[in-house]
Every structure is written in C-alpha cells, then in structure tokens.
C-alpha cells in the first residue's frame, strides 16, 4: 500500500501545476451562478446575465457543481475554486491507481502510465463539471466489478444508487452511467463465469435509470441533454473525433488499445465502459478524456508484464533517479506557480479591460470573454457566453459573424453600448476606424470600445 500512496503523491505536483491558470470561460459563470443559487436558496430558472436572451427559460445541467464552486469562491476567491478543482483531479488520479491495483498492476508501472497520460489530459482537467463525470465513471466501473467479485452485492448496489444521485445533481451526464451499466449486462450474460450475476446487473441498470430521475428536472434531463448536443454544433469540444488532430489521435489509439486488452481478458465491465466511451468519443471529442482514463488502468495492468518488471528491476537505480528528478522538477514548478494559483489565464482573458467597462453597460463581447465578465462585473449584461445550449447555435453563429466583421455594424451591434473583442478580430479593425465608437482600453487579449 505504501508504494501506491507514493505513486499518488508523485501525481499531486502535476495537479497543482494544472490548477495555476483558469482557462475555461464556463468556470466563471458557474461560480457566479453558484453564488446566485446560494443567495436565493433556489436554482435560477431564467437567464439573469445577458441582454440578448435575458429572462428566457434556463435549465442548469450542473447546478450542484455550481454551488460547490460558489462556496469555494466565497471561502477563498478564485484560489479556492482552483484548489477545489485540484482536489477533484487528485481524486481522479487516485481512482485510476485504485483500478490499476484492482487489476493486479504494479504501482511503479501504474504511476508511470498515469504520469505519461497526464499531459494528454491536461486540457480537459479544468475547473468544469466534467471532472465529476471522470470521477463518477471510474467509481461506477469499480462498483460494477465488485458486483461480480463480492459475495454480498447489496452494498455495491446501494453505493451505485448514491453515486448516481450525487452525479446527476452535480452534472447531468449521469446518463452515461446508464449506458455503461446496460452494455455491461450484455457482456456479463455472454460469459459463463459471470452469467449468474446478471440479475444483480439488471438491478444496477434499474437503479441507475431511476436514480438519474432524482434531480430538479426529473425526466426532462434527457431532453435537456439532447438539446445541449444539438445546440453545440459550432463548439469545438462537441465536434466528432478528428483523426487529423495528433492529440486526439494518440488519445483515441491508447483508448482502443485498452479496449482490445480488456476484451481479450474477458473483463465485461471494463470492456463495456471503454466501448461506450469509444462510441461517445467518435460522436463528440469531449468524451475522449473518459475514454483514455478508463484505458489507463487496463494499460497499466497490461504493462506490468514479468519482462517489464525484470527490466525495471535491472535498471532500478537509473529509473529511480530519473523519476525522482521529474517529480522534484514538478514540485519546483508547482511551488513557483503558487502565487498565480487560480488566476484567469492572462493569455486568454483581459482583466484590465473588463474592469474598465462602464457600469450597467450592455456589452457585445467575444464568446470566450462572457463568463469572466459575468463573474467580475455582475452589473454588466453580456451578449453571449459559453452557455451555448441557452443561446442556441443560430445566435452563437451570428455572434461569430459579427465578431469577424462580416455584417453591417449598425445591425450587428444594435442594442450594445460597448464592445469587448480580441484586437485581431475583424470587428475590432472596423471599430477603430468608426466615428461612432471610441477605443477606451487596449490589451494584447482584447480591446474595449464605447459607443460615442
């Protein structure tokens, strides 16, 4: 057990390094929504943040996670948000190692596999409710495997019920658990040694289906999930798997390798989970990290071959020194970055220009900037933010056309008092030469224009 704890501790510096900058626009409006939910003791039902869709019905697919972020922000500002998210990432790493241990992997090999996979996952380990999905899927796989292994499956079923209820209220992606459980039943029934447990898996499927309804929107969760997908066609993370992207290709290849290994071993639960994640990844690249995370424990077990262990033993001193050097460097970087923990990524967000926005201004803004404006300037109404399911694909597309300077200024900026857009955008170039707009603030990330 000591070796497994050391493997997990070696992962923590990389967690802190990732937590340095908050780079996702979602994080900021989720914090403000969490604060709003806490203040009014109810979930918002209409949009309070924009002037383009203000007052329209709004369904929150992560109300519980928003509250967690809101509480973290109230306790310690954005540093608290970053630390809360870092804790969730640490749990993800711990679950990967626990599953690898359950599969008989070596702690040294598992640590290496986890650290090799971490750079591939870095972009996805941001302060967003998807962190809950990663934890929940890994935990569900562990519980489903226990349904096969333990003598009294009642307590794993109870744990699955609790997990599903918590999951669906933190993030509405709990239907993924239903799919994994459903495919697991088919594979359990096909294998003679596990067929006798099929009744327990049917019970698990029923539990995940019923417990997924224990949320403020009930059965409306499914319709809301489908709406998010249909209204996100212009968002990169909702695009299908792109084999021309090297990062996606490597992640997908490792996931497929994990699927092949799990299938050859006859591991019904891991095969089902990785298969469902593979299908999800083909449909939307945002599922890729789940695909890879599920494959890592399987790959760690596969790599813990006797020949590999003999090589490790023969090169123990060299490998120990190398691993120690990597961890020490990571610790140094993490410590150096501590003063910047939780800051909005300065390469993406214009903090000074957001502060310079006139009070009460109706702002036309770039898609990425909306979330931080909502958090830091609640007195300012935005034109769009990353709640693409609220705005719809048509409004988001129109906003991008205005940003590119492809429409008439009077028509595209009708109703806006000020504009916050990247200086490289077509709209910024046109506003600099317009007699109707005045440049008030300029940064490398954005320029703020005020209507004269």
| Residue 345 belongs to a domain | no
| Residue 27 belongs to a domain | yes
| Residue 346 belongs to a domain | no
Measured between alpha carbons, how far is 105 from 170 in angstroms, rounded to an integer? 31
| Residue 342 belongs to a domain | no
pLDDT at 230: 58
What digits encode the pLDDT tens for the residues 41-65?
999 999 999 999 999 999 898 999 9
Contact present, 110 and 97 (Cβ < 8 Å): yes
How far, CA to CA in Å, does 173 sit from each of 88, 198, 215, 395, 442?
17, 25, 12, 25, 40
> Same domain for 331 and 356?
no
What digits encode the pLDDT tens for the residues 24-35?
999 999 999 999
For 34, the domain range is 2-337
Contacts of 54 (CB under 8 A, 6+ apart): 46, 47, 48, 381
> Same domain for 332 and 355?
no
Measured between alpha carbons, how far is 314 from 308 in angstroms, rounded to an integer? 10
> Same domain for 84 and 180?
yes
| Residue 355 belongs to a domain | yes
> Same domain for 387 and 323?
no
| Residue 344 belongs to a domain | no
> Same domain for 303 and 383?
no
Tell me the β-bridge partners of 381: 362
What digits encode the pLDDT tens for the residues 250-297?
999 999 999 999 999 999 999 999 999 999 999 888 899 999 999 999
> Same domain for 259 and 146?
yes
How many domains are contained in the chain? 2
> Same domain for 286 and 360?
no
What digits encode the pLDDT tens for the residues 398-418?
999 999 988 888 899 999 999
| Confidence check: pLDDT of 228 > 70 | no
Q: Tokens standing for 220?
A: 């409306």
> Same domain for 290 and 356?
no
The pLDDT mean for the chain works out to 90
Which comes out higher in pLDDT, residue 95 or 190? 95
| Confidence check: pLDDT of 308 > 80 | no
299: buried, middle or exposed (CB in 10 Å: 19+, 13-18, 0-12)?
Answer: buried
pLDDT at 362: 96
> Same domain for 99 and 247?
yes
| Residue 140 belongs to a domain | yes
> Same domain for 105 and 236?
yes
| Confidence check: pLDDT of 298 > 70 | yes
> Same domain for 306 and 389?
no
Tell me the β-bridge partners of 421: 447
> Same domain for 185 and 279?
yes
Length of the chain, in residues: 452
């Amino acid at each position: 057990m000591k070796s497994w704890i050391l493997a997990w501790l070696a992962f923590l510096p990389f967690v802190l390094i990732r937590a340095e900058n908050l780079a996702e626009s979602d994080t900021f409006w989720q914090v403000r929504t969490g604060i709003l939910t806490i203040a009014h003791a109810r979930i918002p039902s209409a949009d309070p943040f924009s002037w383009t869709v203000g007052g329209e019905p709004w369904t929150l697919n992560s109300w519980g996670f928003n509250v967690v972020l809101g509480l973290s922000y109230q306790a310690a500002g954005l540093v608290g948000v970053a630390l809360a998210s870092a804790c969730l990432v640490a749990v993800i790493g711990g679950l990967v190692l626990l599953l690898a241990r359950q599969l008989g992997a070596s702690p040294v090999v598992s640590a290496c596999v986890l650290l090799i996979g971490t750079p591939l996952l870095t972009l996805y380990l941001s302060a967003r409710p998807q962190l809950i999905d990663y934890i929940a899927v890994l935990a569900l796989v562990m519980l489903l495997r226990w349904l096969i292994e333990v003598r009294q499956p009642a307590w794993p079923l109870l744990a699955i019920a609790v997990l599903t209820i918590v999951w669906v209220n933190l993030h509405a992606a709990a239907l993924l658990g239903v799919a994994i459980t459903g495919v697991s039943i088919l594979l359990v029934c096909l294998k003679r040694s596990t067929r006798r447990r099929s009744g327990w898996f049917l019970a698990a499927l029923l539990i995940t289906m019923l417990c997924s309804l224990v949320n403020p929107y009930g059965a409306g969760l499914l319709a809301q999930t489908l709406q998010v997908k249909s209204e996100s066609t212009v968002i990169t993370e909702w695009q299908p798997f792109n084999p021309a992207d090297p990062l996606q290709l490597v992640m997908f290849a490792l996931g497929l390798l994990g699927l092949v290994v799990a299938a050859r071993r006859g591991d019904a639960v891991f095969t089902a989970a990785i298969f469902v994640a593979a299908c999800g990844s083909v449909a939307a690249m945002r599922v890729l990290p789940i695909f890879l995370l599920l494959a890592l424990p399987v790959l760690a077990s596969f790599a813990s071959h006797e020949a590999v262990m003999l090589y490790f033993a023969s090169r123990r001193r060299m490998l120990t020194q190398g691993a120690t050097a990597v961890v020490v460097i990571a610790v140094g970087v993490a410590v150096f970055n501590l003063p910047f923990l939780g800051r909005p990524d300065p390469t993406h967000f214009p903090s000074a220009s957001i502060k310079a926005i006139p009070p009460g201004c109706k702002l036309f803004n770039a898609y990425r900037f909306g979330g931080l404006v909502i958090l830091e300037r609640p007195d300012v109404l935005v034109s769009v933010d990353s709640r693409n399911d609220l705005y719809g694909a048509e409004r988001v597309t129109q906003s991008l056309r205005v940003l590119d300077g492809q429409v008439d200024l009077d028509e595209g900026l009708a109703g806006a008092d000020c504009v916050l857009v990247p200086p490289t955008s077509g709209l910024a170039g046109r506003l600099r030469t317009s007699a109707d707009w005045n440049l008030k603030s300029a940064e490398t990330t954005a320029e703020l224009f005020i209507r004269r």
